[in-house]
Amino acid sequence: MLFALPEEQREVQDAIRRVAEEKVAPRAAAIDAAGAYPQDMFDLLRDLGLFTLPFPREYGGSGSMLSACVAVEELCRVCYNTAYLLVVQWTPFSAILAGGDGPQKTRLLPGLAGGELRAAFSTTEAQSGSDVSGIRTRAERVAGGYRLNGAKIWCTNSAQSDFVLVAAKIVDEGQAVAAARRGAINLFIVDRDSPGFTIGPPENKMGARGVPSCPLFLDDVFVSDENRLGAEGLGFRTVMEAFNRTRPIIGARGVGLAQGAMELAIEFVRQRAAFGQPVIDFQGVRWMLADMAIQIEAARNLVYRAAAMVDGGIEGAELSQAAAIAKAQATDTAMAVATDAVQLFGAAGISNDYPINRYFRDAKVLQIVEGTNQIQRNIIANNLLGRT
């Protein structure tokens, strides 16, 4: 490994690897097959105190993004869905930490840290996808707060959440829908039992099946001023900038998934023979495995470097560039490695009875979620050339 992990992160790696292999791996296939939320895995992560790992020590965390990436990598190596439970808890935590005021942090962060509260983060809409500026959900100013109207899709973890951070454009009371296209975006803390707020049925997803994603419907949902996250017109930008610091975690999921897929492929081909010799002795097979290792090591070092930059206090365009490169390369690597691993499994690779099928489906999800890899390339190009 070119990136030498400090002692603290090696200890995290050893501890999480033991848990992953002993407690998580035996459950991975069943979680995917059932497509149901794994409460037992949530309880395990809560009992291990992992929900605040990347955050400041005052919230019980390590204050280390590198430690968080190492933990996610080790979990994703055996079970994408269990690793995802950390990410969906960390996203709203990070948003509130970055954009929330004192009372909001006091009210919500301890519960998220201890696992007593669960939350979700919702920006995506059917007509806009990655184009966040094109969202149509409106927050109309009214006495004492706002009324939210609109619909969201693909809100992961919403079915289990106590509240959802919903992105909406602020307009004055009575303005036309078209005015929302020009409004300033803010995030709003919407309690799940708010009148007019409906969480739809889970999507039947190809991958990431253990943490359901649902549509949201908002029909005149009242949200008080106290539940607007950040200053009006500025809160969303603050949160988005903060997410640059957590993007290495998404890359870590790709590294872990790729590592697990390669290990499964090696184990499989070691047991097979063809044309009178072990499959592992064919040069073409050996080169495929070598290419997997090269890609994984490159992606791992990019992810660790971006995480170390976060821990070193680097911000702005330099971090944005490193984080986007790490996310795109690591998740593209996950897809490439999983694809070749399925090929090495042959006919068994397309059977749901073999785990590599699950790795392939989850890898495709990683190229799309948390900012598609096309969006990451836009970020990279903009940092190189400026916006056009």
The pLDDT of residue 239 is: 79
Query: 94: helix, coil or strand?
Result: helix
User: From residue 2, how far is each of 5, 112, 301 by CA, in Å?
Assistant: 9, 35, 7
CATH number for region 7-114? 1.10.540.10
The pLDDT of residue 2 is: 52
Q: Which residues contact 79 (CB under 8 A, 6 or more apart)?
A: 20, 24, 25, 27, 28, 31, 41
Q: Where in the chain is the domain with CATH 1.10.540.10?
A: 7-114
β-strand pairing of 119-122 with 163-171:
parallel
Distance CA 377, CA 29 (A): 33
Active site residues: 370
Q: Where in the chain is the domain with CATH 2.40.110.10?
A: 119-231
**Helix H segments across the chain?**
7-19, 25-34, 39-47, 65-76, 80-99, 102-114, 235-243, 247-270, 283-311, 316-345, 356-366, 373-385
The pLDDT of residue 134 is: 85
Degrees, nearest 5: CA angle 115-121-126: 145
The pLDDT of residue 356 is: 97
Query: 361: helix, coil or strand?
Result: helix
- Cross-strand bridge partners of residue 277: 274
Degrees, nearest 5: CA angle 236-242-246: 130
H or E segment at 167? strand 163-171
Q: What superfamily would CATH give domain 239-385? A: Butyryl-CoA Dehydrogenase, subunit A, domain 3 (1.20.140.10)
Distance CA 62, CA 234 (A): 28
- For the chain of 388 residues, list the mean pLDDT of each consecutive stretch of 10: 80 97 98 96 96 91 94 98 96 93 96 96 88 89 97 96 96 58 82 98 96 98 96 81 86 98 98 93 97 98 96 93 97 98 95 95 95 94 90
The pLDDT of residue 130 is: 77
The model's pTM: 0.93
Give 119-231's CATH code, choosing from 3.90.180.10, 3.30.1490.270, 2.40.110.10, 1.10.10.10. 2.40.110.10
